[in-house]
């Protein structure tokens, strides 16, 4: 039974492979989408404020795809480091030694993704909708996540 439970940690490889496949899919999709936006812009031959706004929005939406891909990649690496092999050479900022390290990194990426989503909404805002509610909701979530991370750091510092 001990051997079975010990080997069961390798089940996490299913999640790692799935997250890596999702990362790869989003990166390829985002790259194709950016290329498509560039080709469409160059082939249209027109330059206008509305076209510029649409171009910016398209790139912001693709940046969001790349950020989510980055979050999935960090999760895949983190789970691999935590359950399979923690000797994989990684930069200092990407080394994950505990589940709390992984959560902290993920929260950081979530905050950035939410900021990008809000930026996308502000670019397309036409004053018909209340952007204040969206901004307030995103701000509340970011504040909650920051408080969560701050409380965790305080607990780690206590003797």
pLDDT value at residue 34? 96
pLDDT value at residue 154? 59
Does the pLDDT value for residue 83 go beyond 70? yes
Mind listing the pLDDT tens digit for each residue in 123-156?
767 676 677 777 888 888 888 878 877 766 555 5
pLDDT value at residue 76? 93
Domain residue ranges of the chain, discontinuous segments joined by +: 2-157
Does the pLDDT value for residue 26 go beyond 70? yes
Q: How far apart are CA 34 and CA 66, in angstroms?
A: 11
CA 21 to chain centre: 15
Q: How many CB atoms lie within 10 A of CB 69?
A: 19
pLDDT band of residue 108 (cuts 50, 70, 90) is confident
Q: How far apart are CA 111 and CA 69, in angstroms?
A: 14
- Three-state secondary structure call for residue 24: helix
Mind listing the pLDDT tens digit for each residue in 27-44?
999 999 999 999 999 898
Q: How far apart are CA 60 and CA 110, in angstroms?
A: 15
* Mean pLDDT value of segment 100-104: 84
Choose between 128 and 63: higher pLDDT.
Answer: 63
């Amino acid at each position: 039974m001990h051997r079975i439970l010990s080997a069961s940690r390798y089940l996490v490889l299913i999640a790692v492979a799935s997250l890596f496949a999702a990362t790869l899919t989003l990166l390829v999709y985002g790259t194709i989408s950016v290329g498509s936006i560039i080709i469409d812009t160059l082939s249209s031959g027109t330059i206008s404020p509305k076209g510029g706004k649409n171009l910016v929005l398209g790139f912001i939406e693709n940046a969001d795809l790349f950020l989510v891909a980055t979050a999935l990649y960090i999760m895949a690496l983190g789970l691999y480091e935590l359950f399979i092999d923690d000797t994989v050479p990684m930069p200092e900022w990407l080394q994950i030694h505990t589940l709390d390290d992984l959560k902290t990194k993920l929260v950081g990426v979530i905050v950035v993704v939410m900021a990008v989503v809000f930026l996308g909404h502000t670019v397309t805002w036409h004053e018909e909708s209340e952007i204040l509610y969206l901004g307030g909701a995103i701000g509340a979530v970011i504040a909650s996540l920051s408080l969560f991370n701050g409380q965790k750091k305080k607990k780690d510092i206590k003797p």
